Chains A and B, each alone.
Chain A
Amino acid sequence: MKNHFLFPYWCRYLGWGLVILHVPLSMLGRSHGMINIMDPQPRDQGIFAGEHLFFISTTLIMSAGLFLVAFAKEKIEDEQIWHIRLDSLRWAIFINYLVLIISLIFIEDVPHMLELNLWVPLIFFIIRFRWVIWRLNQSLKREA
């Protein structure tokens, strides 16, 4: 199990930190957006426009946070954990494509679909992975 690259254990906490940091930042972004809507001046366009950069940075913070949480090592990273990881990834891909196909058919909001597609696999992976580990711990407690 030593051949597979994963981030060190402490990266999980860094990841949660980034995810939590995203909340006030995105709220700030929304209020910023509201000011712009009220502003009669047209919004800046282009890759280096302030709004776009803000959107990219907050999205990157959230994605990097989720990525670190999802792919940080467990305290004991053994073959069963690896098995659960792979199985959770399989489910995450299934769910992601299901959501993507449904949203392609019914939703026309492409930018939000991209955001959804960025986060759904990671969020679902984290939930499924942690849930299976929690169940394992519960069964261990019951036997103890």
Chain B
Amino acid sequence: MKNTIRIERAIKDMTQADLAEAVGVSRQTINTIESNKYVPSTVLALKIARVFNKPLEEIFMLEDGD
């Protein structure tokens, strides 16, 4: 699963730490999600989408292998 968190953060001018605080996780977690090393739970994915005011599918997309 890939995501556009890095782009969305740049649009909103947010740091990883800002986003981490907004959704209640550590900076490491945001970092690993951005680099596609960790797939977040549905709850966390929904929280992230809510921070960016966008539907989930615009932030997280399935890849061919998924």
Contact = CB atoms under 8 A, between A and B. Distances in A.
Chain A facing B: main interface SS: helix
A79 B32 CA distance: 12
Interface stretch (A59-67, A115-123, A132-140): A132-140
Contacts of A79: 25, 29, 40-41, 44
A78 B24 contact: yes
Most buried by B among A81, A136, A137: A136
Nearest to A135: B28
A32 to B, nearest CB: 46
A133 B29 CA distance: 11
Contacts of A78: 24-26, 29
A80 B27 contact: no
A4 interface: no
Interface in B44-62: 44
A140 B17 CA distance: 11
Contacts of B32: 80, 136, 139
A50 B32 CA distance: 53
A144 to B, nearest CB: 9
Contacts of B29: 78-81
B31 A140 contact: yes
Interface of A: 74-76, 78-81, 83, 133, 136-137, 139-140, 143
Top 9 A-B pairs, shortest CB-CB distance:
A78-B25, A76-B26, A80-B29, A136-B28, A140-B31, A78-B29, A79-B41, A78-B26, A80-B38
10 contacts: A74-B26, A78-B24, A79-B25, A79-B29, A79-B40, A80-B28, A83-B38, A139-B31, A139-B35, A143-B31
Given A79-B40, A139-B32, 17 more contacts: A74-B26, A76-B25, A78-B24, A78-B25, A78-B26, A79-B25, A79-B41, A79-B44, A80-B25, A80-B26, A80-B32, A81-B29, A136-B28, A136-B32, A137-B28, A139-B31, A140-B27
